[in-house]
């Protein structure tokens, strides 16, 4: 059987869709969904003890920079982000009360409630506009409004500041071998915000 030369690298055994760039205005509070193709169910009870870690590390920004930085800020700020998991409640029931973002199973399909508190409705999810189709392998990374506040270089009107982002997922303890994945990596771009420069009192509109 023929063997390939070690330098003839034509097959990628671990695929990578590429790095991401999240862009947000300073002071925004955002939540982004991430679908994990290597996990069938990311919910806590069903998957056991998966560990989700999302981190943003301050980059070595330069005031007025036009290019993205490539180095980490020495002694810079590291921000751990909260990862929200889907709350799966099992098979849908017409008599049950459901809250926003809770997930149910109906006719073999998973649905997520898009709004409401303790909402009770006898309309099945496939006919109710308040439900939308979802999956159990979707997690949600939350970016707080304080992200970037303590960075050495703050964004200017014509210049953004950046941080490096990475998501790490570790499998439950396994007797054979516990695997760790880093499926999403990239940069966070923080843009200048005029409202973030003012006090809370100035932000309030008088009627």
Instruction: Write down the domain spans for the chain.
Output: 63-84+159-194, 86-138
Q: Look at residue 9 in the predicted model and tell me its pLDDT.
A: 67
Contacts within 8 Å (CB) and 24+ apart, 143-147: 143/22, 143/24, 143/28, 143/29, 143/30, 143/31, 143/32, 143/56, 143/81, 143/188, 144/29, 144/79, 144/81, 144/82, 145/27, 145/28, 145/29, 147/24, 147/56, 147/79, 147/188, 147/190
Beta-carbon contacts of residue 72 (< 8 Å; ≥ 6 apart): 57, 58, 59, 60, 164
Residue 198 banded pLDDT, cuts 50, 70, 90: confident
Domain 86-138 classification at class level = mainly beta
pLDDT at 66: 92
pLDDT band at 203 (very low <50, low <70, confident <90, very high): low
Which range of 1-15, 99-113, 167-181 scores highest in mean pLDDT? It is 99-113
Which one, of 47, 48, 51, 4, lies nearest residue 169 by Cα?
Answer: 51
Per-residue pLDDT band for 175 (boundaries 50, 70, 90) equals: confident
Judged against a pLDDT cut of 60, whether residue 202 lies above it is answered with: no
Confidence of residue 119 (pLDDT cuts 50, 70, 90): very high
Cα separation, 65 vs 46, whole angstroms: 46
For residue 143, pLDDT beyond 80: yes
- Assign 126 a pLDDT band (cuts: 50, 70, 90): very high
Q: pLDDT for 53-71, tens place per residue?
A: 999 999 999 999 999 999 9
Averaged pLDDT of the chain: 90
Check whether 12 has a pLDDT greater than 90: no
Q: Are 167 and 84 in contact (CB under 8 A)?
A: no
Average pLDDT score over residue span 127-145: 96
* Percent of the chain surpassing pLDDT 70: 88
Please, are residues 27 and 191 in contact by the beta-carbon 8 Å criterion?
no
Q: Give me Rg for the CA atoms of the chain.
A: 22
Q: So what's the pLDDT on residue 201?
A: 52
| Most confident among 42-51, 53-62, 189-198 (mean pLDDT) | 53-62
For 94, residues 6+ apart whose C-beta sits below 8 A from its C-beta are 121, 122, 124
């Amino acid at each position: 059987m023929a063997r390939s030369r070690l330098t003839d690298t034509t097959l990628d055994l671990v695929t990578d869709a590429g790095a991401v760039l999240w862009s947000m205005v300073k002071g925004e509070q955002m939540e982004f969904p991430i679908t994990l193709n290597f996990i069938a169910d990311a919910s806590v009870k069903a998957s056991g003890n998966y560990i989700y870690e999302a981190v943003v590390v301050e980059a070595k920004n330069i005031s007025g920079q036009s290019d993205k930085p490539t180095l980490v800020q020495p002694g810079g700020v590291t921000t751990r982000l909260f990862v929200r998991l889907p709350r799966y409640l099992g098979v849908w029931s017409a008599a049950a009360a459901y809250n926003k973002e809770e997930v149910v199973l109906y006719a073999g399909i998973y649905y997520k409630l898009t709004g409401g508190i303790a909402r009770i409705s006898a309309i099945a999810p496939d006919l109710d506009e308040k439900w939308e189709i979802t999956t159990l392998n979707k997690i949600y990374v939350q970016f707080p409004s304080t992200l970037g506040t303590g960075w050495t270089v703050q964004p200017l009107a014509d210049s953004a500041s950046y941080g490096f982002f990475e998501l790490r997922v570790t499998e439950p303890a396994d007797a054979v071998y516990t695997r760790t994945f880093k499926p999403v990596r990239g940069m966070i771009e923080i843009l200048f915000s005029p409202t973030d420069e003012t006090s809370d009192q100035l932000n309030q509109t008088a009627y």
